[in-house]
Amino acid sequence: MILDLKHIFKDYQQDKLVVPVLKDINLQVEEGEYVAIMGPSGSGKTTLMNIIGCLDKPTTGEFYLEGNDILKLKDRELSGVRLNSIGFVFQSFHLMPRESALENVALPLSYAGVKKKERKERALRALERVGLGERATFMPTQLSGGQKQRVAIARAMVNNPKILLADEPTGALDSKSGAQIMELFQRLNEEGVTIVMITHDANIANHAKRIYHIIDGEISEETREEEHHEEV
Amino acid sequence: MLENIRLSFKGIWSHKMRSFLTMLGIIIGIAAIIAIVSTIKGTNEQIKENIVGSGDNTVDIALYQGDWMYEMGYEGIPAGVPVINDDIVEELKDIPNVKNVSLYLSRQDYAVYYLNTALSGGYVMGVDENYFSTCNFIIQKGRGFTKEDYTKYHKVALLDPDSEEALFQGEDAIGKTIEIKSEPYIVIGIVDKAQEFEPVINSLEDYYTYAEDSTGKVYIPDSTWPIVYQFDEPQNVVLQVESTDDMTNAGKDGAAILNAYLQVSDETIKYRAEDLLEQAKKIQQLSESTNSMLIWIAGISLIVGGIGVMNIMLVSVTERTQEIGLKKAIGARKSNILGQFLTEAAVLTSLGGIFGVLTGIGLAEIISKVTDMPVAISVPAAVASVAFSMIIGVVFGMLPSYKAANLDPIEALRRE
């Protein structure tokens, strides 16, 4: 099991009021799975993603990533987990505006202490993997939305993480670019990458093999049969 | 690290105006310091040159009694001062950086006449054969001393331009006879320093410090000295050294060697090197102490500049919250972020330092043109300035960098 979340609770302190955001979340993901977490805005899905991405810590609960007890790790070790085990893809791409596509992709490698020459080679290979090998020297402003997101995916994949964590990856894209991104995810999943995708869009979520719904901080898994009936 | 420096330059270049204004405080501070230091150094070199003379590099070692040069005219020959023989001369030649050694006898004498004109207060110098080459003298007119003049005790004299002027007042001196203590000497030539050196005098103070009362010197072969004066009078030594900076040490060593041979009962009688460098330093210190105040004042502007850098860096951290959040999300450690911002601050202020040094050099040149003050650019000061501005960057970049490193990545990513 690559992701194992047990009884995760998360509260936020707002002035003197304690606001529960996540209530008893249980989530298990096997290696190589493609999972979507669906929910409307304010449902707590981004908080859940931050916890899975080791950016945030739950108030109570247990969280194992590749068997490691994440909640016991120090800040420095968490950076290492984010660097080597998780690839982030965001709705708004978050590319460095003054760096070329290649430099953007190479960024995590510099934190991993990879030598300059190898950084370049590996970044180029990652760009080729998302079909942007010939745009390596382009600046983000010279790329379309879909291309920017593919650069972001290349950046997420450059360290060969086990898990790709995507937060509304098609949220800022037109439907055609969105479909291309979904195809790319499909292919990466077939190559063995575990994908956890967060979205509010049912069409996007349907690309995943398993779908979780999160509403008001409570999670439930959707069974495919149910969905089948609905469509019929 | 290199990556951080590259990123810093990119960041600075993309905000040219802001970066320049941020650097301005540092630029002004460093420029002021460089200009002041250059002026101090220029003045100091001027002082050194005025006192030591240019390219001469000779040290006089004379016999002293207490604080005054031993006065043969009053005291007579002191007991226990041996003749400086060839062995001792060889020993002096072995002192590091000594090129030439020469011996001379000297007395202030009022009884030097040409007809009825007296050379009042002038010096009679009994010099050995290589004295003029050691002291860089050249024969201006007539001829110099020959070997025969020494071996055959020819009563011949050379004059320096001052004594020539005092005794002959424009008349041609060559071939004329002068009297030294009633002994007739024939003037065979005029000698002078090869390099004419005039101290640069900018103020009345300088004039009192540097202007010598030149009363003139009359040179005779030292072998003829006993004809006029006495046998076995104490000798003085001139050392010619490689460079100006060797003068102090060679002088001290020489005096020590000579003193080792002294067997005097009067403890105050000692050979002492005339230490021009030491004199120069004393005057330099005076001018430096006034200027070091100015450096402190300029230093304050560096602190103000540093605070400016800190301020802009704080703004920059806020502006780049998203970038920081993303970098943390993709695996940057706190130390990576800290390093990036510290590097940026250090690069910014180092650039400011470099521009400051250039501006300071320009400023110093302008000062020297406008006020006629001498300036000299100090390379160590320039290097130290750049290094110091880098340190300012690191110190004042610390707070913003810590702020950046400790940003909560969730908060940082949320701001869209």
- Strands A86-89 and B68-69 come out as unpaired
Find the closest chain A residue to B416 by CA distance.
A92
Determine contact: A79 vs chain B, CB below 8 A: yes
Give the integer Cα–Cα distance in Å for B116 and B167. Answer: 9
Give the integer Cα–Cα distance in Å for B260 and B265. Answer: 14
Q: Taking residues B159-173, report their average pLDDT.
A: 89
Asked if B336's CB is within 8 angstroms of A111's CB, the reply is yes
- Judged against a pLDDT cut of 60, whether residue B410 lies above it is answered with yes
What does the block give as tokens for A174?
């037109």
Asked if B416's CB is within 8 angstroms of A92's CB, the reply is yes
Give the integer Cα–Cα distance in Å for B112 and B26. Answer: 66
What does the block give as tokens for A111?
């934190």
Find the closest chain B residue to A98 by CA distance.
B10
Give the integer Cα–Cα distance in Å for A120 and A135. Answer: 14
Mean of all residue pLDDT scores within chain B: 86
Q: Please state whether the predicted TM-score (pTM) of the whole model is above 0.80.
A: no
* DSSP string computed for B197-264: ------SHHHHHHH------EEEEEGGGHHHHS-TTPPPEEEEEESSGGGHHHHHHHHHHHHHHT---
With cut-offs at 50, 70 and 90, classify the pLDDT of residue A230: very low
Give the integer Cα–Cα distance in Å for A90 and A182. Answer: 14
Placement of tokens 């799975």 in the chain:
A33
Which chain B residues have a beta carbon less than 8 Å from that of A56?
410
Contact B269, B78 (CB under 8 A): yes
pLDDT of residue B210: 62
B201 vs B95, higher pLDDT: B95
* Share above pLDDT 70 across residues of chain B, in percent, rounded to a whole number: 93
What does the block give as tokens for B273?
């090197």
Determine contact: A55 vs chain B, CB below 8 A: yes
Contact A7, A60 (CB under 8 A): yes
Other CB atoms within 10 Å distance of the CB of residue A190: 10
pLDDT digits (tens, 9 = 90+) for A52-73: 999 888 999 999 998 889 999 9
pLDDT digits (tens, 9 = 90+) for B276-309: 777 777 777 777 777 777 778 888 888 888 999 9
Domain residue limits, chain A: 29-57+84-231
pLDDT digits (tens, 9 = 90+) for B178-197: 999 889 999 999 998 776 66
Crossing angle (nearest 10°) for helices A75-84 and B334-371: 100
- Judged against a pLDDT cut of 80, whether residue B373 lies above it is answered with no
Q: How close A176 comes to chain B (CA, Å)?
A: 24
Which chain A residues have a beta carbon less than 8 Å from that of B413?
55, 90, 94
Q: Which of B73, B68, B63 is nearest to B107 (CA)?
A: B73
Across A3-12, B204-213, B220-229, least confident range: B204-213
Q: How close B303 comes to chain A (CA, Å)?
A: 31
Contact B178, B168 (CB under 8 A): no
- Judged against a pLDDT cut of 70, whether residue B67 lies above it is answered with yes
Contact B102, B128 (CB under 8 A): yes
Which chain A residues have a beta carbon less than 8 Å from that of B410?
50, 55-56
Give the integer Cα–Cα distance in Å for B132 and B104. Answer: 11
Q: Taking residues A184-194, report their average pLDDT.
A: 92
CATH superfamily, region A29-57+84-231:
P-loop containing nucleotide triphosphate hydrolases (3.40.50.300)
State the amino acid at position A52 in one-letter form: I
Let me know if A18 is exposed, middle or buried by CB neighbors in 10 A (0-12, 13-18, 19+): exposed
State the amino acid at position B148 in one-letter form: E
With cut-offs at 50, 70 and 90, classify the pLDDT of residue B55: low
End-to-end CA distance of chain B, in Å? 29
Contact A106, A120 (CB under 8 A): yes
Asked if B333's CB is within 8 angstroms of A111's CB, the reply is yes
Other CB atoms within 10 Å distance of the CB of residue B135: 20
SS3 state at A121: helix
| Residues 6+ away with beta carbon under 8 Å from B335 | B405
State the amino acid at position B164 in one-letter form: E
Give the integer Cα–Cα distance in Å for B122 and B216. Answer: 5
- Judged against a pLDDT cut of 50, whether residue A51 lies above it is answered with yes
- Judged against a pLDDT cut of 70, whether residue B159 lies above it is answered with yes
Cβ–Cβ pairs < 8 A, chains A and B: 60
Which residues 106-145 in chain A show a CB within 8 A of chain B? Answer: 107-108, 110-112, 116
